[in-house]
Amino acid sequence: MFRILVADKIGSAGIRRLEEESDVTVDVKTGLPKAELCSLIPTYDALLVRSSTRVDADLLSMAPKLRVIGRAGMGVDNIDVAAATARGILVMNTPGVNSIATAEHTILLMLAAARHTAEAHQSVLQGEWRRSDFIGVQLYRKVLGLIGFGRIARHVARRARTFDMEVIASDPYVSEEVGQEMGITLVDLEELLAQADIISLHASLSDETLHILNTETLAKTKDGVIIINSSRGQLVDEQALANALTSGKVRAAAVDVYNKEPPGTDHPLIGLANVLHTPHLGASTEEAQRDVSIQIVEQVMDALRNEDFRNSVNMPFPAGPEYASVLPYLQLGEKIGVLQFHMADAPIRAIELELSGDTAIEFAKPIATGVLKGVMMNIIADPVNYINAPALAEEHGIGISQTKGLGSSEFANAISCRANWADGNRVIIGSVFDGERPRIVQVGDYHLDVDPSGTLLVMKNSDVPGVIGQVGTLLGDYGVNIGEWRLGRVRKGEDALSFINLDNEPSKAAMTALGKISAVKKLKVIRL
């Protein structure tokens, strides 16, 4: 008999499903203070939460029987996944369940913004009948531009095409073949901005996409464009959008997400007549809430019965005693994937792994999964975990191949990862020192010994005297401390490559100053 504690409110359909199971005892006790939850948790096999209950290391230390934590929703920010993994506790979520609800809300916002729906409604409530003031535009034959082309964007595209809209998308990590299969044209961002009558945001948040719609990019759009954001508030410079709406450059906007939630009354978009607001309602449907509760219940039951472990956040291999030994290799694979993504000269299309050494070969699957997770977590907006990373990579046309036991290496266990793009490739080689310390030992032709953790400044520079001194002094001037500096060069007088571990992240001003050093050719800050 399995005992399950439901600590947050989930859909009643999920509770009923649990109550129907003959091998389950379920207790619904929501809103408990931490002390009370800690006193109850020792007797339970599974814990179901949403976002309210914080599942931290302290709580987990009181749960000797706990095998599964189910999060009814996408994010797991309220769960200490590392602590759960160390204790052999499976953590699951429900990615993608809300995709259709969010896509439908996007279409709703698009229609409402195009036809002044909310403003007209309010006008009628006030006793007015101003039909001529609310002349809208049709979606028919308009060009819809999707920034980002993940799961939700693809649902939006299918629905938009039923309105006879032309759909284009900008996503450097999706192959043209994927777009062709859906009848969607993949274009670069500049072309999308110039062509789209309506722009809808669906990108993941990264350094590259932060404020992807800003004063400069909005100026490149069509006059009278409509902006829709049901993805992430940080994708839009809200003041820049407010200015464009006020000037008439942007006809209208519909916003479901904000840089800061809830937005204050002083928010630049609040009060503008041509902006439609909703309070982060993308996933707020009865069906989505029902489906997410049923899905997490079914996942948890399958996991307790050892039947299936889908949508696990933390298990690329059977949980248990081998966790400690496989973890450094899993981490190394993920770090290599992150480095490959950030150092690639174009979107990655294929990955080749060559493994040498008995231990590396034994852990081939988790290593490959880690590499794919490291690449994919920087590409898509949806949560990426060790379970879904391979499928997401395949979805985006990124293949991976493995060769075991071939090649030679000076290290007992080595992982050689070649990332391929349209007209180039790069090899990164890593190893695990002393069975527990992931290290990067080669990048391209450069031999180094890099600790792939924390804030890493990657620099390529001319091999001339004084560069290290200039960079070190300048970083010091901006209050940035250097932890380690690893430098490699192929031959005297040719370019050198440095990996600099920093104790704190350099400011934009510091990076600008570094870029002005004449010998410096490339700079990149990578967070590992």
What the block records as the tokens of 469 is 């001194």
What is the model's pLDDT at position 86?
Answer: 73
Q: Residue 397 and residue 371: Cα distance in Å, rounded?
A: 15
Residue 322 is predicted with a pLDDT of 64
CB atoms within 10 A of CB 191: 15
In this structure, of 183-187, 206-210, 350-354, the range with the lowest mean pLDDT score is 206-210
Which residue(s) pair with 27 in the sheet?
5
Q: Which residues pair with 525 in a beta bridge?
A: 457
Give the range with max mean pLDDT: 192-196, 362-366, 489-493: 192-196
Q: Collapsing DSSP states into helix, strand and coil, what is residue 262? A: coil
Give residue 408's pLDDT.
Answer: 54
| Contact present, 220 and 244 (Cβ < 8 Å) | no
Contact 91, 312 (CB under 8 A): yes
419: Cα separation from own chain's centroid: 20
pLDDT above 70 coverage of the chain, percent: 97
Note every long-range contact of 71-75, with CB atoms under 8 Å and residues 24 or more positions apart, other chains counting: 71/296, 72/8, 72/10, 72/11, 72/14, 72/48, 72/292, 72/293, 72/296, 73/98, 73/292, 74/98, 74/382, 74/383, 75/51, 75/383
94-153 residue pLDDT tens: 988 889 999 999 999 999 999 999 999 999 999 999 999 999 999 999 999 999 998 899
Q: Each residue of 156-179: pLDDT tens digit?
A: 999 999 999 999 999 998 988 888
Q: How far apart are the C-alpha atoms of 443 and 428, rounded to whole Å? A: 5
Query: How many CB atoms within 10 Å of residue 183?
Result: 11
Q: Give the pLDDT confidence of 9-59 residue by residue, as tens digits.
A: 998 999 999 999 999 999 999 999 999 999 999 999 999 998 789 999 999
Residue 317 has a pLDDT of 63
- Read off the DSSP letter of residue 203: P
Res 406 pLDDT > 60: no
Of 359-368, 427-436, 468-477, give the lowest mean pLDDT range: 359-368
| Max mean pLDDT range (70-84, 257-271, 311-325, 383-397) | 257-271
Return the H-helix or E-strand segment holding 177: helix 176-182
91-114 in b/e burial notation, b at 16+ Cβ within 10 A? Answer: bbbbbbbbbbbbbbbbbbbbebbb
Mean pLDDT along residues 209-237: 97
Q: How far apart are CA 75 and CA 232, in angstroms?
A: 14
Asked whether residue 64 carries a pLDDT value surpassing 90, the answer given is yes
DSSP state of 42: G
Q: For 103-229, list the strands marked E by DSSP.
A: 143-147, 166-170, 185-186, 198-201, 225-229
- Catalytic residue list: 232, 261, 280
Q: 99-277: what fold? A: Rossmann fold (3.40.50)
Which regions of 157-229 does DSSP assign to beta strands (E)? 166-170, 185-186, 198-201, 225-229
Residue 405 reports pLDDT greater than 70:
no
Angle at 124 between CA 120 and CA 130, to 5 degrees: 65
Arithmetic mean of pLDDT, 437-462: 95
* Distance, CA of 172 to CA of 182 (rounded, Å): 17
Predicted local confidence at residue 316, as pLDDT: 66
Contact residues for 178 (Cβ-Cβ < 8 A; gap 6+): 149, 186, 395, 396, 397
- Residues 353-367 have pLDDT tens digits of 999 888 888 888 889
The token pair that represents 526 in the structure block: 């990578």
In a 3-state reduction of DSSP, which class is residue 407? coil
More confident residue, 247 or 366: 247
Dihedral pair phi/psi, residue 236, rounded to 5°: -120, 130
Q: What's the pLDDT band for 308 if we cut at 50, 70, 90?
A: confident
Per-residue pLDDT, 407: 55
- C-alpha 176 chain-centroid distance: 21
Q: State the pairing for strand pair 350-356/414-421.
A: antiparallel
| Cα 173 from Cα 150, distance rounded (Å) | 10
CATH number of 330-527: 3.30.1330.90
Q: Is the pLDDT of residue 319 over 70?
A: no
Residue 315: pLDDT band with limits 50, 70, 90: confident
Domains 2-97+288-315 and 99-277 share a fold: yes
Structure-model confidence comparison of residues 388 and 97, the more confident one: 97
Q: Provide the residue ranges of all domains of the chain, joining segments of one domain with +.
A: 2-97+288-315, 99-277, 330-527
Beta bridge partners, 329, equal none
Minimal CA–CA distance to 133: which of 145, 147, 149, 121? 121
CATH of 2-97+288-315, one of 3.30.300.130, 3.40.50.300, 3.40.50.410, 3.40.50.720: 3.40.50.720
What's the whole-number average pLDDT of the chain? 92
Per-residue pLDDT at 495 exceeds 90: yes
d(CA 71, CA 177): 34
